[in-house]
């Protein structure tokens, strides 16, 4: 049975959403950590922490997510996204704890224009993507590890595309956004609910944890341009969104042109219902307006 759950990266978007769900009275004991309370790159620190705080499950929400900066800070990206995942994996294995690790669509190069399945061969084309892919490989060395690949994550917490667009929508009359990169936005609240669903499923009648790789984003497909248009619409901002091509907005790191993820496996395995991205975006913006 899963009772004691260690969450790393609890100050981030997903960590905060898990925290909010836990505050609603979930039947689990959560141990919340971030860089100020636990150094996940320190093997000794991890061992001592878990010795004092026995766990049944570790949810790794910690990650180096500065995609462009990673091109210059390769060692830091690999330290957090690869080496630390290896240490967390070993910690779980040594303590008989299950492991949920969050990964990314950036493990693919986006050149296959059909929704990626978990069985498709990854081919990352950025330092960030490579570091996350290597992190997956570390996690998969443990037979009780479950990896969730997600994409275009946003929430009312932290920095993200939605918050940036809302700020620019107030400051400017127009904003230019890329229209030739296609994917599916993910409301971190929905991902957090899916993770809790997975834990509940494992505990119900002592069912199998069902380790392996799973994809999770909201339903539906759009471009960053479409996403921005909907943000302005739901926020009732007059800012005009102008479409531009990737070649007109050069960034240090390569982005997948098509990173839609097939979610059939997670839906069928854990009986999860996934909302459409516009429905969840509307909920998130309304929540931010109330705060």
Q: Which domains does the chain have, with CATH numbers?
A: 4-158+185-218+259-275 (3.40.50.720)
For residue 80 the two structure tokens come to 């957090």
pLDDT-derived band at 160, boundaries 50, 70, 90: very high
With H, G, I as helix, E, B as strand and everything else as coil, classify residue 264: helix
- Per cent of the chain over pLDDT 70 is 100
pLDDT for position 113: 83
Mean pLDDT of 11-36: 96
CB 33 within 8 A of CB 6: yes
Overall average pLDDT of the 130-156 stretch: 98
Residue 230 · residue 284 · CB < 8 Å: no
CA distance 107 to 122: 5
Q: What's the pLDDT at 233?
A: 97
92: pLDDT strictly greater than 90: yes
Burial of 181 (0-12, 13-18, 19+ CB in 10 A): buried
- What does the chain come to in residues? 291
CA distance 226 to 183: 10
pLDDT average, residue stretch 51-61: 97
Q: Catalogue the active-site residues.
A: 128
Position 207 confidence tier, pLDDT thresholds 50, 70, 90: confident
Taken in order 245, 251, 256, 260, the sign of the CA dihedral is: negative
Backbone angles phi, psi at 113, to 5 degrees: -90, 60
CA gap 40, 33 in Å, rounded? 10
- Cα–Cα distance, 14 to 44 (Å, whole number): 26
């Amino acid at each position: 049975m899963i009772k004691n759950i260690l969450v790393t990266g609890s100050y981030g978007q997903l960590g905060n959403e898990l925290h909010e769900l836990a505050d609603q009275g979930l039947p689990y004991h959560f141990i919340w950590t971030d860089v100020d309370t636990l150094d996940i790159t320190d093997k000794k620190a991890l061992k001592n922490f878990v010795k004092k705080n026995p766990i049944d499950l570790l949810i790794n929400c910690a990650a180096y997510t500065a995609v462009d900066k990673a091109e210059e800070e390769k060692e830091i990206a690999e330290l957090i996204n690869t080496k630390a995942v290896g240490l967390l994996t070993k910690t779980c294995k040594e303590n008989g704890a299950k492991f949920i690790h969050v990964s990314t669509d950036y493990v693919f190069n986006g050149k296959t224009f059909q929704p990626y399945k978990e069985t498709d061969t990854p081919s990352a084309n950025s330092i960030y993507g490579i570091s996350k892919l290597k992190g997956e490989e570390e996690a998969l060395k443990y037979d009780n590890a479950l990896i969730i690949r997600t994409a275009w994550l946003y929430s009312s917490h932290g920095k993200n595309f939605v918050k940036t667009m809302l700020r620019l929508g107030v400051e400017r009359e127009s904003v230019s956004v890329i229209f030739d990169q296609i994917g599916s936005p993910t409301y971190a609240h929905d991902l957090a609910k899916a993770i809790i669903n997975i834990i509940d499923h494992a505990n119900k009648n002592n069912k199998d944890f069902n380790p392996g790789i799973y994809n999770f984003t909201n339903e539906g497909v759009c471009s960053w341009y479409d996403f921005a248009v909907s943000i302005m619409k739901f926020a009732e901002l007059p800012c005009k969104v102008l479409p531009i091509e990737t070649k007109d907005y050069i960034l240090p790191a390569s982005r997948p042109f098509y990173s839609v993820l097939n979610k059939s496996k997670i839906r069928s395995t854990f009986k999860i219902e996934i909302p459409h991205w516009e429905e969840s975006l509307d909920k998130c913006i309304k929540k931010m307006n109330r705060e």
